[in-house]
Structures are given as structure tokens and as C-alpha cells.
Amino acid sequence: DWMNLEADFGYDRSTGSSLQFRDKGWRTTSSNPTASSGFMQKGSLDNESFTTSFSGAANRTFFNGLNATFTGRYVYTDQTLRADSASGTNIVVSDIETTDAITNNFSLGSQKQTIRDMGFFFGADFDYLDRYIFGGLIRRDGSSLFGAGNRWQTFGRGSAAWIASREPWWPAGDALSLFKLRASVGTTGQRPR
């Protein structure tokens, strides 16, 4: 009744393929029309991602009116991007959409990128007498995209609020049911492309 724990695991995958094909014998529309020798470009994309997270929140009341919530979270993501391509000209036999039919200007290309991210979050929020609110959070992020000398970055935030309309001396009564003053400061960032 005072602690919540949660764990998540996710797997995402997207794949795609492309084909640009101008068959042998395709008639051109230039000022000197000729029959095309053919052109083909094929490609494939594969994006695979694993995400794991663990989080917890604990609630506690101290000193008759100080409610506290402590939170923590760990997140890990492993993403792999793959792409392959092949192209060329001069198709030997028409109506064949495989790269085996290409005889000239053959070009192959491929790339693979692996991205790993890890993050830790620790926070605490306090509410005293349902009108004085304080909170803070520290976040530590690591990413393979940050560069060798800066793999880890730290971000934080802090906030305070006062709900003056809940004070016993509040003069406005029902005319102004909620009056809240709030201040916060923090840092944020995002990983590069």
C-alpha cells in the first residue's frame, strides 16, 4: 500500500524495401528517342529496438501532514539500424527485377548503426499540509551518440509551490477558489541525431 514497482520490456521492428526499375527496351522521351538499356535500384531498411525499464515509487507520511513520494527509474534502449542498396544499368533480359540482370555500373552499399542509451532518474516530492509543495529530480543519461569524451550527462530540476488559497486565513473564500504561486528551475537536453 506504500510502494509501487513496475517493469517493462518492449521490442519494436520496422522493415521496408524499395525498387526503382526501368526495364530494358523502355522508350525514352528525349529529342532523340532511343530504347533504354535498363536501370535498377533496390534497397532495404531494417530498424530493430529493445527497450527495458524498471521503476518504483514509495509514499510515506511524516510528522502528521508531510506527505513524501520518492521515485526511481532505470531505462535501457538498444537500437540497430541497417540499410542495404544495389543499383546498376544495362539489364540483359527484360522483365527480371533482380540485380542478377544488371551488367554495367554495378554499385553496392550498406550501413549499420547501433545506438545504446541508458538513463537513471531519482526524484522526491513533498507536500506539507496540502499547501506547501517541494520537489526535485536528478537524471543521469548516457548515450553512444554523446561522443567518447562525454558519454554521460546530468540533468536536474527543482520546484516549489504554495497554495495560498488553502491557508486558514485566506480572505477571498469562494470568490477565488484556487490561488497558487509556483517557481521551478531545471536543465534539459536531448541526444544528437
Average pLDDT over residues 4-26: 92
pTM of the model: 0.72
Summarize pLDDT for 79-124 with one digit per residue, the tens.
999 999 999 888 887 787 888 888 888 899 999 999 999 999 999 9
For 76, half-sphere exposure in the C-beta direction (CA atoms, 13 angstrom radius) is 5
Q: Looking at the predicted structure, is the pLDDT value of residue 133 above 70?
A: yes
What is the residue-wise DSSP string for 3-46? EEEEEEEEEEEEEEEEEEEE-TTPBP-SSS--B---EEEEEEEE
Res. 157 pLDDT band, cuts 50 70 90: very high
Give me the percent of the chain exceeding a pLDDT of 70: 96
Q: How confident is the model at residue 59 (pLDDT cuts 50, 70, 90)?
A: very high
pLDDT number for residue 169: 86
| 3-class SS letters over 71-86 | EEEEEEEEEEEEEEEE
Lowest mean pLDDT among 41-45, 73-77, 145-149: 145-149
For residue 35, the model assigns a pLDDT of 62
- What's the pLDDT score for residue 32? 62
Q: What whole-number percentage of the chain has pLDDT above 90?
A: 60
Asked whether the predicted pLDDT for residue 31 surpasses 70, the reply is no
Query: Is 139 in contact with 119 (CB distance < 8 Å)?
Result: yes
pLDDT confidence tier of residue 25, bands split at 50, 70 and 90: confident
DSSP class of 149:
G
Residue that wins the pLDDT comparison between 127 and 176: 127
How confident is the prediction for the chain on average, in pLDDT? Answer: 89
Q: Which three cell numbers, joined as nine digits, stand for 146? A: 554523446
